[in-house]
Amino acid sequence: MDRALIDLGSNSIRLSVYKCEEDRITGIFNEKEFAGLAGYVTDGVLQPAGIQKACSVINGFKDTASRFVDPSGISVFATASLRNIKNRDEAVKIIAEETLLVPDVLDGEEEAGLGFIGASDFIKSDDGIMIDIGGASTELVLFREKKAEQLVSLPIGCLNLSLGHIARIIPTERECRRMNADIAKRFSDIPWAKGVRFRNLSGIGGTLRAALRLSRVLFDSPYKENTIDADRVGELIKLLKSNRSNLYHTVYRAIPERLMTISAGLAVLRHAIEAFGCETVSVSKNGLREGYLTEKVLKKTKKHVVEQANE
């Protein structure tokens, strides 16, 4: 049976459809909408407009998914978008009533672990660190011998950092200092991070893919290359702070949906690079959705996922 997943994130909501065969899982359709649910949160409460936005997007995606799969083959899961709000039970209830789909709200460590499972075919090293910078949280996995050893979810992401620290598209020096202090504090709270060093950082998720696209465009990197040199991340941050209008035209063409949040996302990425002494960042096409599909929907131990061409 083919399957459709709706990933209810704090920044974007995504629909992914997969053709599921006995020994092969192939992505056949992908669509996303930047709903910005974190922007509807006030004092920790997801406002009614945000809940209705989630319902509207889910129902639209349900209609789209019905062209590919039976209704019973559609699943919805949520990350920090619902996990971090005070009215989670109320939001889940309303979404279930209005969409007839009950969101599976993942806790932070579960999200990190499923992301690692989804990217496991891509990650070539036996030992290392994996990062996923979302809209309202950042997940980190320390893995050894290809097994997750430590998992943590930090309550910072590209969207809530942008909303909390940046007044306009381009952060000021003062805003950067405050944002970086916030990020540094969160990283300092990771109990197992001290002294951990790896040459390569494995990355998944939309922020990392956007950073890769931007690096390709601004530094004329080969399109098929999936690795960013660590020093290029610092260069990207400096370029974005330069306030050159022609540069932002290029950025908008490369990653239009990430224009408002890329500065914060790159700031988190740079902190991870510095915290773990990384020299390169390798970006995976597969991640949380593929891990969720494999582990929680199909309950398979082996998989082969081909990412959607329009990712």
Q: Say yes or no to pLDDT of 119 above 50.
A: yes
* pLDDT score recorded for residue 301: 63
pLDDT > 90: percent of the chain? 86
* pLDDT score recorded for residue 79: 97
User: In a 10 Å sphere around its CB, with 0-12 CB exposed, 13-18 middle and 19+ buried, how is residue 282 labelled?
Assistant: buried
Give the pLDDT band of residue 289 (cuts 50, 70, 90): very high
For the beta carbon of residue 118, count every other beta carbon within 10 angstroms: 25
CA angle (146, 150, 151) in 5-degree steps: 105
Assess contact for 6 and 13: CB atoms under 8 A.
Answer: yes
In angstroms, rounded to a whole number, what is the distance separating the alpha carbons of residues 84 and 59?
A: 23
Q: What share of the chain is helix, strand, coil (3-state, %, to 5)?
A: 45, 20, 35
* pLDDT score recorded for residue 309: 47
Report pLDDT digits (tens) over 194-223: 999 999 999 999 999 999 999 999 987 666
In angstroms, rounded to a whole number, what is the distance separating the alpha carbons of residues 299 and 311?
A: 24
Tell me if residue 72 falls in helix, strand or coil. helix
In angstroms, rounded to a whole number, what is the distance separating the alpha carbons of residues 51 and 41?
A: 10
* pLDDT score recorded for residue 311: 52
Lowest mean pLDDT among 73-82, 123-132, 235-244: 235-244
In angstroms, rounded to a whole number, what is the distance separating the alpha carbons of residues 139 and 44?
A: 20
In angstroms, rounded to a whole number, what is the distance separating the alpha carbons of residues 122 and 143?
A: 14
In angstroms, rounded to a whole number, what is the distance separating the alpha carbons of residues 55 and 58?
A: 5
In angstroms, rounded to a whole number, what is the distance separating the alpha carbons of residues 23 and 264?
A: 39
